[in-house]
Amino acid sequence: MKIFVKTILCFVLLMAAQSAWGQKNSQELLKREVKINAETYGYRVYVPKNRNPKKKLPVMLFLHGNGVNGTDNERQVQGINEIIDKYPKFINFIIVFPQARPNTIWIGDMTTQALKALDQTVEEFNGDTKRLYLSGFSMGGYGTWTTGVLYPNKFAALVPVAGGIVPPFQIPALLKKTFPAEIVTILDAADPYDSLAKKIGNTPVWLFHGREDEAVPVTESRKISEALKKNGNKNVFYTEYENINHNSAFLKAFTEPKLYQWLAKQKLK
């Protein structure tokens, strides 16, 4: 009974995480679609103003948090859309915003449609395949780690915010059976964080987390950053915000000027 109550509580907190942001008109972001088998998924694309089409730009794939899942192709840009409007000089790269379907997480078909949206965007807007960034908040932070594992050597940098690898609740057995084998191996390992670090390898990573996070334990980011460094990754940064909760970590992370300076230096060899 205690496990069930804890699971429901954590789920509610994660659901509220990104939906707490006020909705803003997102018409300035381009609307696009991608097809996976018989399903059509909408996604949005941010392209910097005054972009030179002949110049290759980096492209970030951003995985949203729970609470904005859906099919409207609107809600997934909440929060970060406002940051783009307020700090346009920070974000001199293209951003892809896929949207996970209701009651899903970034695994399976949701990951597949997100990666296809990324590849489609790179092709359409002359993106730089050696400078692809992967980021996500909350549920998207978890998705950043799992996607990084499933697509090694694709991303020049990972930026998980308030995410982790071990969920704050027990994963139902039926749900776990749908996970890719690589992810199940990590979750079932004696030390999941060490197992994850070995899969991530030397991919540059900057993690962000609020110390007062009420939805995802801050220990997740602490353990992952320590494991990455222990396994020899020399390009790992971890920022932990004092007196900052789950939602506030999102705003703090994406208004860090040093993050964008760091991203600009990351490139696949």
C-beta separation of 216 from 168 below 8 A: yes
Confidence class of residue 90 from pLDDT cuts 50, 70 and 90?
confident
More confident: 24 or 266: 266
Q: How far is CA 200 from CA 22, 150, 193, in A?
A: 34, 9, 10
Domain boundaries, the chain: 2-264
- Check if the beta carbon of residue 257 is closer than 8 Å to that of residue 92: no
pTM of the model: 0.90
pLDDT value of position 81: 81
Residue pLDDT, tens place only, 63-82: 999 999 999 999 999 888 88
- Model confidence at 208: pLDDT above 70: yes
Confidence band of 50 (pLDDT split at 50, 70, 90): confident
Average predicted confidence (pLDDT) for the chain: 90
Please state, in angstroms and rounded to a whole number, the distance separating the CA atoms of residues 110 and 104: 8
Report whether pLDDT(124) > 70.
yes
Instruction: Give the mean model confidence (pLDDT) for residues 179-189.
Output: 97
Tokens 């197992």 sit on residue? 195
Tell me what pLDDT residue 262 has: 97
pLDDT of residue 186: 98
Output DSSP code: residue 207: E
pLDDT band at 10 (very low <50, low <70, confident <90, very high): very low
Q: Are 219 and 192 in contact (CB under 8 A)?
A: no
pLDDT, average across residues 158-170: 94
Q: How confident is the model at residue 180 (pLDDT cuts 50, 70, 90)?
A: very high
- Please count the other Cβ atoms lying within 10 Å of the Cβ belonging to residue 53: 9
267 SS3 class? coil
For 2-264, CATH gives 3.40.50.1820
